[in-house]
Chain A
């Protein structure tokens, strides 16, 4: 069965901290994605990666960066966390459509 695993379900950090969210997929997919989910806004794409060390900005990349050193792992980095980055973060992977999602990380920035 396909699996996308996010390292933390819940995370609490402080303003200004550097925050790492990790995601691992076991399906050998080329594409991996990071979304944030906010009520009424659906999911918005932050960054995606179509190959190792390759990345593209999504719709809301400001304040975030990503790292993809290995095919199975895609990390989202909040360079200096701010309270407006409190949200649910979802990782996904896919070859062609559709995408497979992890269970999400609920991140609170205090």
Chain B
């Protein structure tokens, strides 16, 4: 069985400050890992994914995430927050052998203050 824990259901950052969203997973086999973003009244969009290539993954909109096997983590960062980054972010895990059947974390809502 696999699970995903996102620390902090709400995060508030100032415009221009570092964005750090935490994600830890548990999985019996090395998984694929994903970050999605959901803007208000919209579906989810893929930000980035880890599929066992480089451990530092760069995504869209300046986001990146680092896979750390020893810590079972896949934290999402952006060096400088923009007002348009206000959204809800979801970490997800999928076992490599099970196609794209994703298990999602509970989500982190990001508020960006001017």
The reply on A101 being an interface residue by CB < 8 A is: yes
The reply on B104 being an interface residue by CB < 8 A is: yes
Is A97 touching B51 in the complex (CB atoms < 8 A)?
A: yes
Among B12-20, B42-50, B61-69, B72-80, the stretch in contact with A = B42-50
A103-B42 contact given A31-B99, A43-B104, CB 8 Å threshold: yes
The reply on B25 being an interface residue by CB < 8 A is: no
Tell which of B6, B41, B44, B94 touches A97, judged by Cβ atoms closer than 8 Å: B94
The reply on B26 being an interface residue by CB < 8 A is: no
The reply on B102 being an interface residue by CB < 8 A is: yes
Bound Cα distance from A103 to B9, whole angstroms: 22
Is B100 touching A41 in the complex (CB atoms < 8 A)?
A: no
Chain B: interface size category? 20 to 34
Hey, which bits of chain A sit against chain B, CB under 8 A? 4, 31, 33, 35, 40-45, 48, 50, 58, 90, 92, 94, 96-99, 101-104
Bound Cα distance from A101 to B99, whole angstroms: 16
Q: For residue B94, which residues in chain A have a CB less than 8 angstroms away from its CB? A: 97
Hey, which bits of chain B sit against chain A, CB under 8 A? 4, 6, 9, 32, 34, 41-46, 49, 51, 90, 92, 94, 99-107
Bound Cα distance from A92 to B45, whole angstroms: 11
A-B contact pairs, 20 of them (CB 8 A): A31-B100, A33-B101, A40-B107, A42-B90, A42-B106, A43-B92, A43-B104, A44-B104, A45-B101, A90-B43, A90-B44, A92-B44, A97-B49, A98-B100, A101-B43, A101-B44, A101-B45, A103-B43, A104-B41, A104-B43
Is A103 touching B41 in the complex (CB atoms < 8 A)?
A: yes
Is A98 touching B101 in the complex (CB atoms < 8 A)?
A: no
Q: For residue B45, which residues in chain A have a CB less than 8 angstroms away from its CB? A: 101
Bound Cα distance from A94 to B106, whole angstroms: 22
A95 nearest in chain B by CB position: B100
